[in-house]
């Protein structure tokens, strides 16, 4: 049985009309003036070991695939302002192997994505000089490593191991700077998306307006925002970052919203999980970061998200799925409970421990000059723990900066992710038991 959600009517909204207008003007502004460009490319080979989940039946024990992305960033400068843009060609499934059959090109899915396209300029209003932004832009205001409550308009993935083509949102903003910081009045439309959307993403698409304040106060960095849109119907959020010394800093953020949407467990056993309104919601995060002169960096974070399923809800979902999978005609209903993994956070309470090592700083601290290649290696380790049900996600990265001339660069990255912990935890029900990823990234 399919999950039914209310979809927006397929008409050309003012925001999409403005987006089309920006696209139509591209040849005009690219014909003259100072045009700069940068190319980024990436190849990603991913291999995953699968396991049985209570929600779905795994057909293959392991799989591997090859993905690629090419990103073009253009900037055009004039006396009236600057056009900025980012276009990505993302190809998924260039190579696929499920253990029984391997194919090249047959299952590929390629898409051309306008990640950003906007005009940035200035507007004099009386004695005030305003910075103006109009178009499709990424707005990254949140603080945090594992999660950012103040990424309000599009939930960007934090620290992915595979390739991701993140998109911006439709924005019209006016910013004024004073001696302490910045005031911003903004209007946004998050429906400016070309990538395939989940039912939850479509239900969360919003149009609204708000005001943002950012300022510095000695060793404190403050931000607050008040915003109203047609989905959340009002929200208030804020963050603060405090630097105690060169080695130690503290950051925190919180958000309250009047309404929220999410996957709701049905009242009936024989009804699918569906997107519904959940009422008011809270998200909060606090973290501490410590760095040593020898290159070691440690971070600890805790965050809470009331929109995620609780331990009781996950247990109820697993109990129902076990009953539904006993009959072939109700197996699709059991699979609908796996949509709980599409929430921004899979569980309500989260603990993150992060470690990274700057080998170049370590060599300089100890006066070591060789081997030179060691200075280009950066290991990283993340441990995400769910204290409610004992689930653990462990991720390690090893990055090697192979080439870096300032204008051109090539980086090798190996990542391994293990989803483990208590067998009854939510993380243990994700199909991929562990995955290995080899990324090759470059810029020219």
Q: How far is CA 189 from CA 120, 137, 208, 286, 294, in A?
A: 18, 11, 7, 29, 45
> Which has the closest alpha carbon to 290: 276, 305, 300, 304?
300
Answer whether residue 227 shows pLDDT above 60: yes
Q: What is the pLDDT of residues 297-341, one digit of tens each?
A: 999 999 999 999 999 999 999 999 999 988 888 888 999 999 999
Residue 335 to residue 321: CA distance in whole angstroms: 8
Q: In the predicted model, what is the mean pLDDT of residues 50-76?
A: 91
Is 266 within 8 Å of 285 (Cβ atoms)?
Answer: no
**How many domains, the chain?**
1
Residue 274 to residue 261: CA distance in whole angstroms: 10
> What pLDDT score does 47 carry?
96
Residue 15 to residue 209: CA distance in whole angstroms: 13
> Which has the closest alpha carbon to 204: 154, 167, 264, 166?
154
Residue 194 to residue 171: CA distance in whole angstroms: 16
> Which has the closest alpha carbon to 236: 257, 259, 207, 221?
257
According to the 3-state scheme, what is the secondary structure of 197-263?
Answer: CCHHHHHCCCEEEEEEEEEEECCEEEEEEEEEECCCCCEEEEEEEEECCCCEEEEEEEEEECCCEEE
> What pLDDT score does 274 carry?
94
Answer whether residue 37 shows pLDDT above 50: yes
Is 88 within 8 Å of 115 (Cβ atoms)?
Answer: yes
Is 54 within 8 Å of 321 (Cβ atoms)?
Answer: yes
φ, ψ at 240 (rounded to 5°): -145, 140
User: Is 260 inside a domain boundary?
Assistant: yes
Average pLDDT for the chain: 90
Is 212 within 8 Å of 224 (Cβ atoms)?
Answer: yes
> What pLDDT score does 98 carry?
86
Q: In the predicted model, what is the mean pLDDT of residues 223-245?
A: 97
Answer whether residue 4 shows pLDDT above 50: no
User: Is 5 inside a domain boundary?
Assistant: no
In our burial notation (b when 16+ CB lie closer than 10 A, e otherwise), range 346-378 reads: bbbbbebebebbbbbbbbeeeeeeeeeeebbeb
Answer whether residue 155 shows pLDDT above 90: no
**Nearest-10 Cα torsion for 405, 406, 411, 417:** 150
Percent of residues, the chain, with pLDDT higher than 70: 93
Q: What is the pLDDT of residues 78-97, one digit of tens each?
A: 888 999 999 999 999 999 99
Is 244 within 8 Å of 250 (Cβ atoms)?
Answer: yes
Q: What is the pLDDT of residues 392-428, one digit of tens each?
A: 999 999 999 999 998 899 999 999 999 999 999 999 9
> What pLDDT score does 6 carry?
34
User: Is 234 inside a domain boundary?
Assistant: no
Q: What is the pLDDT of residues 426-435, one digit of tens each?
A: 999 999 999 9
Q: What angle do CA 161, 163, 165 make, to 5 degrees?
A: 130
> What pLDDT score does 363 carry?
85
> What pLDDT score does 79 carry?
84
More confident residue, 366 or 296: 296
Range of the domain at 355: 14-116+246-443
> What pLDDT score does 19 carry?
46
> What pLDDT score does 151 carry?
93
Answer whether residue 24 shows pLDDT above 60: no
> What pLDDT score does 437 carry?
97
Residue 438 to residue 63: CA distance in whole angstroms: 14
Name the least confident of 154-168, 184-198, 274-288, 387-401.
154-168
More confident residue, 243 or 16: 243
Answer whether residue 8 shows pLDDT above 50: no
Residue 346 to residue 12: CA distance in whole angstroms: 34
User: Is 280 inside a domain boundary?
Assistant: yes
- The whole-model pTM stands at 0.87
SS3 439: strand
User: Is 172 inside a domain boundary?
Assistant: no
Answer whether residue 16 shows pLDDT above 80: no
Q: What is the pLDDT of residues 341-399, one digit of tens each?
A: 999 999 999 999 999 999 888 888 888 877 888 889 999 999 999 999 999 999 999 99
């Amino acid at each position: 049985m399919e999950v039914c959600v209310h979809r927006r009517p397929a008409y050309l909204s003012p925001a999409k009309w403005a987006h089309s207008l920006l696209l139509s003007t591209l040849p005009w502004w690219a014909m003259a003036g100072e045009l700069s460009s940068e190319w980024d490319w990436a190849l990603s080979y991913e291999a995953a070991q699968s396991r049985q989940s209570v929600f779905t039946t795994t057909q293959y024990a392991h799989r591997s695939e090859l993905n690629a992305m090419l990103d073009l960033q253009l900037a055009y400068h004039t006396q009236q302002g600057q056009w900025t843009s980012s276009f990505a060609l993302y190809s998924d499934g260039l190579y696929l192997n499920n253990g029984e059959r391997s194919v090249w090109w047959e299952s590929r899915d390629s898409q051309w994505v306008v990640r950003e396209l906007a005009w940035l300029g200035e507007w004099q209003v009386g004695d005030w000089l305003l910075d103006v932004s109009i178009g499709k832009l990424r707005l990254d205001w949140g603080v945090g490593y594992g999660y950012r409550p103040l990424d309000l308009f599009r939930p960007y993935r934090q620290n992915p191991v595979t390739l991701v083509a993140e998109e911006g949102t439709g924005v019209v903003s006016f910013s004024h700077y004073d001696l302490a910081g910045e005031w911003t009045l903004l209007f946004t439309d998050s429906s400016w998306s070309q990538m395939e959307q989940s039912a939850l993403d479509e239900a969360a698409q919003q149009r609204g307006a708000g005001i943002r304040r950012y300022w510095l106060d000695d060793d404190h960095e403050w931000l607050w925002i008040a915003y109203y849109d047609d989905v959340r119907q009002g929200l208030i959020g804020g963050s603060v970052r405090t630097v105690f010394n060169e080695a130690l800093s503290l950051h925190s953020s919180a958000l309250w919203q009047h309404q929220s949407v999410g996957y709701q467990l049905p009242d009936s056993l024989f009804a699918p999980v569906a997107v519904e309104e959940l009422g008011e919601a809270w998200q909060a995060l606090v973290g501490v970061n410590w760095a040593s002169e020898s290159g070691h960096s440690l971070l600890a974070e805790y965050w809470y998200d009331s929109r995620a399923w609780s331990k009781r809800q996950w247990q109820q979902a697993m109990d129902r799925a076990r009953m539904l999978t006993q009959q072939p005609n109700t197996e699709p209903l059991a699979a609908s409970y796996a949509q709980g993994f599409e929430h921004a956070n899979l569980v309500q309470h989260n603990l993150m421990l992060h470690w990274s090592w700057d080998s170049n700083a370590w060599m300089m601290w100890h006066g070591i000059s060789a081997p030179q290649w060691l200075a280009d290696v950066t290991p990283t380790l993340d441990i995400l723990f769910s204290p409610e049900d004992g689930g653990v996600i462990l991720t390690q990265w090893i990055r090697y900066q192979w080439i870096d001339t300032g204008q051109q660069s090539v980086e090798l990255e190996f990542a391994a992710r293990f989803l483990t912990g208590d067998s009854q935890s939510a993380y243990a029900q994700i199909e991929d038991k562990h995955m290995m990823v080899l990324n090759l990234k470059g810029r020219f």
